[in-house]
Amino acid sequence: MSILWITGLAGSGKTTLADAMAARLADDHIGGIVRIDGDRVRAELGDAGRGYSREQRLAVAQQIAERAMAASRAGHCAIVSTISLFHVIHAGNRASGEDYFEVLLTCDPSLRAQRLAMRPALRGPQVGSEIEPEFPREPHLCVDSADGDGGVLAQRVLDAWRRRHV
Protein backbone atom coordinates (compact mmCIF):
# COMPACT_ATOMS: atom_id res chain seq x y z
CA MET A 1 0.00 0.00 0.00
CA SER A 2 2.32 2.77 1.26
CA ILE A 3 5.48 3.68 3.10
CA LEU A 4 5.43 6.87 5.16
CA TRP A 5 9.11 7.40 6.03
CA ILE A 6 9.92 9.92 8.76
CA THR A 7 13.58 10.78 9.14
CA GLY A 8 15.55 13.31 11.15
CA LEU A 9 18.18 13.58 13.83
CA ALA A 10 17.91 11.94 17.26
CA GLY A 11 15.49 13.82 19.50
CA SER A 12 13.60 15.52 16.67
CA GLY A 13 10.33 13.76 17.53
CA LYS A 14 10.15 11.07 14.85
CA THR A 15 8.59 8.37 17.04
CA THR A 16 6.07 10.78 18.55
CA LEU A 17 5.01 11.95 15.10
CA ALA A 18 4.79 8.41 13.70
CA ASP A 19 2.70 7.22 16.67
CA ALA A 20 0.33 10.18 16.22
CA MET A 21 0.04 9.40 12.50
CA ALA A 22 -0.77 5.75 13.22
CA ALA A 23 -3.43 6.80 15.73
CA ARG A 24 -5.01 9.21 13.22
CA LEU A 25 -5.11 6.54 10.53
CA ALA A 26 -6.65 4.07 12.97
CA ASP A 27 -9.27 6.69 13.91
CA ASP A 28 -10.04 6.97 10.18
CA HIS A 29 -10.51 3.17 10.09
CA ILE A 30 -7.49 2.64 7.88
CA GLY A 31 -6.49 -0.95 8.56
CA GLY A 32 -3.18 -2.68 8.16
CA ILE A 33 -0.98 -0.06 9.80
CA VAL A 34 2.52 -1.32 10.55
CA ARG A 35 4.79 0.79 12.77
CA ILE A 36 8.49 0.34 12.14
CA ASP A 37 10.74 2.20 14.56
CA GLY A 38 14.52 2.27 14.20
CA ASP A 39 15.18 1.68 17.92
CA ARG A 40 12.77 -1.27 18.00
CA VAL A 41 14.34 -2.83 14.91
CA ARG A 42 17.78 -2.53 16.53
CA ALA A 43 16.48 -4.36 19.60
CA GLU A 44 14.92 -7.10 17.45
CA LEU A 45 18.16 -7.58 15.50
CA GLY A 46 20.07 -8.39 18.71
CA ASP A 47 23.83 -8.45 18.19
CA ALA A 48 23.43 -7.50 14.52
CA GLY A 49 21.73 -4.25 15.53
CA ARG A 50 24.13 -3.19 18.27
CA GLY A 51 26.76 -1.32 16.27
CA TYR A 52 26.69 2.40 15.65
CA SER A 53 29.43 3.00 13.09
CA ARG A 54 28.34 4.44 9.75
CA GLU A 55 28.49 0.99 8.14
CA GLN A 56 26.52 -0.65 10.95
CA ARG A 57 23.92 2.12 10.88
CA LEU A 58 23.60 1.67 7.12
CA ALA A 59 23.02 -2.08 7.55
CA VAL A 60 20.25 -1.43 10.09
CA ALA A 61 18.72 1.21 7.80
CA GLN A 62 18.63 -1.38 5.00
CA GLN A 63 16.81 -3.81 7.32
CA ILE A 64 14.27 -1.09 8.14
CA ALA A 65 13.73 -0.31 4.45
CA GLU A 66 13.26 -4.01 3.62
CA ARG A 67 10.67 -4.40 6.39
CA ALA A 68 8.79 -1.33 5.16
CA MET A 69 8.78 -2.57 1.56
CA ALA A 70 7.55 -6.01 2.65
CA ALA A 71 4.73 -4.47 4.66
CA SER A 72 3.72 -2.23 1.76
CA ARG A 73 3.77 -5.12 -0.72
CA ALA A 74 1.52 -7.06 1.67
CA GLY A 75 -1.03 -4.24 1.43
CA HIS A 76 -0.19 -2.46 4.66
CA CYS A 77 0.61 1.15 5.41
CA ALA A 78 4.11 1.16 6.91
CA ILE A 79 4.87 4.17 9.09
CA VAL A 80 8.62 4.32 9.66
CA SER A 81 10.45 6.47 12.21
CA THR A 82 14.21 6.26 11.83
CA ILE A 83 17.33 8.38 11.59
CA SER A 84 18.59 6.47 8.51
CA LEU A 85 20.08 9.59 6.94
CA PHE A 86 21.68 7.91 3.94
CA HIS A 87 21.07 8.93 0.34
CA VAL A 88 21.39 5.32 -0.81
CA ILE A 89 18.49 4.31 1.46
CA HIS A 90 16.28 7.18 0.31
CA ALA A 91 17.06 6.40 -3.34
CA GLY A 92 16.34 2.70 -2.83
CA ASN A 93 13.03 3.48 -1.19
CA ARG A 94 12.03 5.71 -4.10
CA ALA A 95 13.11 3.09 -6.64
CA SER A 96 11.26 0.25 -4.87
CA GLY A 97 8.05 0.78 -6.82
CA GLU A 98 6.11 1.22 -3.58
CA ASP A 99 4.07 4.30 -2.76
CA TYR A 100 6.80 6.11 -0.81
CA PHE A 101 6.30 9.41 1.03
CA GLU A 102 9.38 10.92 2.66
CA VAL A 103 9.16 13.37 5.56
CA LEU A 104 12.13 15.24 6.97
CA LEU A 105 11.46 16.26 10.56
CA THR A 106 13.64 19.08 11.82
CA CYS A 107 13.97 20.44 15.31
CA ASP A 108 15.74 23.32 17.00
CA PRO A 109 19.07 22.06 18.41
CA SER A 110 18.31 23.35 21.92
CA LEU A 111 14.96 21.50 21.98
CA ARG A 112 16.64 18.33 20.70
CA ALA A 113 19.22 18.65 23.48
CA GLN A 114 16.46 18.98 26.10
CA ARG A 115 14.69 15.90 24.76
CA LEU A 116 17.87 13.87 24.59
CA ALA A 117 18.76 14.81 28.17
CA MET A 118 15.59 13.02 29.32
CA ARG A 119 16.46 9.78 27.49
CA PRO A 120 19.03 7.11 28.24
CA ALA A 121 22.49 8.02 27.01
CA LEU A 122 22.94 7.60 23.27
CA ARG A 123 25.44 5.00 22.21
CA GLY A 124 28.17 5.17 19.63
CA PRO A 125 29.09 7.96 17.24
CA GLN A 126 26.17 10.33 16.74
CA VAL A 127 24.67 11.30 13.41
CA GLY A 128 24.91 15.05 13.10
CA SER A 129 28.11 15.39 15.10
CA GLU A 130 30.50 12.44 14.64
CA ILE A 131 28.76 11.02 11.56
CA GLU A 132 27.81 13.39 8.75
CA PRO A 133 24.05 13.15 8.08
CA GLU A 134 22.82 12.76 4.52
CA PHE A 135 19.55 14.65 4.73
CA PRO A 136 17.02 13.80 2.02
CA ARG A 137 17.73 15.72 -1.16
CA GLU A 138 14.07 16.14 -2.10
CA PRO A 139 11.76 15.06 0.72
CA HIS A 140 8.09 15.15 -0.12
CA LEU A 141 7.51 17.23 2.99
CA CYS A 142 9.64 19.07 5.57
CA VAL A 143 8.13 19.78 8.97
CA ASP A 144 9.61 21.27 12.11
CA SER A 145 8.63 19.83 15.46
CA ALA A 146 8.14 23.38 16.78
CA ASP A 147 5.23 23.88 14.34
CA GLY A 148 2.76 22.04 16.57
CA ASP A 149 2.14 19.05 18.79
CA GLY A 150 2.18 15.49 17.48
CA GLY A 151 -1.47 15.56 16.45
CA VAL A 152 -1.16 18.79 14.48
CA LEU A 153 1.97 17.61 12.69
CA ALA A 154 0.47 14.18 12.05
CA GLN A 155 -2.56 15.74 10.38
CA ARG A 156 -0.31 17.98 8.27
CA VAL A 157 1.75 14.99 7.07
CA LEU A 158 -1.30 12.82 6.38
CA ASP A 159 -3.04 15.63 4.49
CA ALA A 160 0.03 16.08 2.27
CA TRP A 161 0.31 12.31 1.71
CA ARG A 162 -3.38 12.04 0.81
CA ARG A 163 -3.15 14.99 -1.63
CA ARG A 164 -0.71 12.92 -3.67
CA HIS A 165 -3.47 10.36 -4.25
CA VAL A 166 -6.21 12.73 -5.37
Using an 8 Å Cβ cutoff, are 103 and 159 in contact?
Answer: no
Apex 149 CA angle, 40 and 69, nearest 5: 35
* Amino acid (one-letter) located at 79: I
Share above pLDDT 90 across residues of the chain, in percent, rounded to a whole number:
66
Assign domain 10-163 to its CATH architecture. Answer: 3-Layer(aba) Sandwich (3.40)
Q: What kind and span of H or E run contains 51?
A: none
Q: Mind listing the pLDDT tens digit for each residue in 92-116?
A: 999 998 899 999 999 998 888 787 7
Show Cβ contacts of residue 159 under 8 Å, excluding neighbours closer than 6 positions: none
Q: Mind listing the pLDDT tens digit for each residue in 58-86?
A: 999 999 999 999 999 999 999 999 999 99
What are the structural domain ranges in the chain? 10-163
